[in-house]
Structure 1
Amino acid sequence: MRIFLTFLLALPAWAMAAGLEGRVSLVVDGKPLRAEEAAEAVVYFRPAAVGPLTPPTTEYVMSTLRKQFEPHILPIVVGSVVRFPNQDTILHNAFSTSKDNAFDVGLYSEGEGKQVTFSQPGYVRVYCNVHHSMVGHILVLDTPYFTRPGKDGRFVLADLPAGRGDLVVWHDRAKPWHIKAEPGETAPTDIVLDLNLRRIPQHMNKFGKPYGRSANAAY
């Protein structure tokens, strides 16, 4: 027994990694949505001590398609590159005035679009300066431990570092759900998010002015 305990103490933190799991449900006006709609949520674990991050070498993509940003919600890590291709045959724009991650790729036609590097953690709302109803959401995380619920609403975060940290469930139409959790110790959790925020947030165009009807009508 003493030999086994000594062996455990000698293991590095990653060797004793564990996980967290649970199920996410969404409700609107007290009525539950289909289980598969929870796949839009982002579940992430932020350890108490966050080490240096290595962003992926490949780019992420948020397209403009049928006058929508696709995907609607995109989780990435700090330092990641996102390209904004246009798959419609009309003009689009992608911009954000979000703190620390503001950008504007300009007006662009069908094609590959431009790249943007997101160097700071935070929530980035993406809009089109041509179409008021277009909104996308980029969640720039300072932790590599994130996932999306499956079609049954269940999620598993595996191979997490030992020790307590923050378990967060995020959705663009709900207040983030949050608890202190410890991988391997915290029991599976049932989480209910109340989608009580607007689908299209009130916003101005990239010049800080109201959208004109003529701009939307032209497309």
Structure 2
Amino acid sequence: MRSLLWAGLLLAGSAGAATIEGQVTLYLDGKPLRPEEAAEAVVYFRPAAAVTVPAAPPPVEMVTLRKQFSPRILPVTVGTEVRFPNQDPILHNAFSTSKDNGFDIGLYGQGEGKAQRFDHPGYVRVYCNVHHSMVGHILVLDTPYFVRPDAQGRFRLKDLPAGKGDLVVWLDRATPWHAQLVAGKAEAQAVKLELAQKKIPPHMNKFGKPYGRSGDGGY
């Protein structure tokens, strides 16, 4: 019985000890960018076997500061509540028309702002109805295994369940990169992303109409 118990403990430990490593390099017009440019990307692993996402993830923030959403790209797990504090001395808004995760927290001034809970996996593009140039990105994941590359573009996902799964590297201006591999047995991944999309995509306001001339007015 004791040997069986130790065998079970060793298997449990090895099941969560797999890692996946790699390097993300961004390209613009075929030319590589500085390594730190890749730090905004999101790298996540979706095991083939079902995984458990925390039932009540801790709340996180996407701040409005200097007429920008910060962080510009925010990865969260399903069920996370995101608050939108306003640190500018002007009015802001945060809304999205994304499928299953659409919301509108209204017009609000400087302060802690309102919160929105995201219960469906998917990509949420966030806009401000006051300022056309404000664009944020929330990636709602159904896996707890995600990480951001460091200032050299390197990433390391650790404590993964060993086995098959799908590795994805996501950035708003590039086509997502996919690879099916086996966690714990995969070689280091060399990921190349070509930036082919605009940082501020064409969009309407929350009423489906063009922004007015004052949509990006100063303080």
> Residues 93 and 212 (structure 1 numbering): CA distance in 2 closer, same or farther, change over 3 Å?
same
The CA deviation at 1:58 is 2.7
Distance in 1 separating the partners of 2:185 and 2:203: 42
The equivalent residue for 2:68 is 68
Supply the distance in 1 between the matched residues of 2:22 and 2:218 (Cα, whole angstroms): 46
User: What residue in structure 1 maps to residue 169 of structure 2?
Assistant: 169
Question: In the TM superposition, what is the alpha-carbon distance from 1:10 to its structure 2 partner?
Answer: 7.6
Query: What is the alpha-carbon distance in structure 2 between the residues aligned to residue 100 and residue 14 of structure 1?
Result: 37
- Secondary structure (helix, strand or coil) at the match of 1:105 reads strand
Distance between the aligned counterparts of 1:29 and 1:53, measured in 2?
38
The alpha-carbon deviation at position 9 of structure 1 amounts to: 10
Residue type of the alignment partner of 1:63: V
Counterpart contact for 2:83–2:114, Cα < 8 Å: yes
**Contact 1:164–1:182 under 8 Å retained in 2:** yes
Equivalent pairs, count: 216
Amino acid at match of 2:114: K
Structure 1 pair 35/218, CA: closer, same or farther in 2 (3 Å)?
A: closer
Asked whether the 8 Å contact 1:44–1:169 carries over to 2, the reply is: yes
Q: Which residue of 1 aligns with 2:216?
A: 216
Shift in Å at residue 104 of structure 1?
0.5
Deviates more, 1:27-36 or 1:53-62: 53-62
Deviates more, 1:16-25 or 1:121-130: 16-25
1:98-121 Cα distance to aligned partner (Å, 9 max, x none): 000001110001000001000000
- Separation of aligned partners in 1, 2:206 and 2:13: 46
1:195 and 2:198 aligned? no
1:81 matched to which residue of 2? 81
How far the C-alpha of 1:11 sits from its partner, in A, is 2.3
In structure 1, the gaps of 5 or more residues are none
Distance 1:56 1:16 in 2: 21
Partners in 1 of 2:201 and 2:14 — Cα distance?
41
Deviations 1:61-80 (A, max 9, x none): 00000000000000000000
3-state DSSP of counterpart to 1:12: helix
Query: Is the 2:163–2:184 contact (alpha carbons within 8 Å) kept by the matching residues of 1?
Result: no
Q: TM-score when scaled to structure 2? A: 0.92
Aligned AA (1:160): L
Amino acid at match of 1:177: W
Distance between the aligned counterparts of 1:59 and 1:163, measured in 2? 30
Kept in 1, the 8 Å contact 2:133–2:216? The answer is no
TM-score normalised according to structure 1 size: 0.92
Query: Aligned residue for 1:180?
Result: 180
Residue 213 of structure 1: how far off its partner (Å): 1.0
Question: 1:52 aligns to what SS in structure 2?
Answer: coil
User: Which structure 2 residue ranges, 5 or more long, are not aligned?
Assistant: none
Aligned CA distance change for structure 1 residues 48 and 57 (closer, same or farther; 3 Å): closer
SS of 2:183's equivalent in the other structure is coil
Q: Distance in 1 between matches of 2:107 and 2:143?
A: 33
Specify the alignment match of 1:107 in structure 2.
Answer: 107
Q: How does 1:1-219 map to 2 (within 5 A)?
A: 7=7, 11-12=11-12, 15=15, 17-55=17-55, 57-217=57-217, 219=219
Say what the alpha-carbon RMSD is for the aligned residues: 2.0
Percent of aligned pairs sharing the same letter: 64
Distance 1:89 1:24, change over 3 A: same
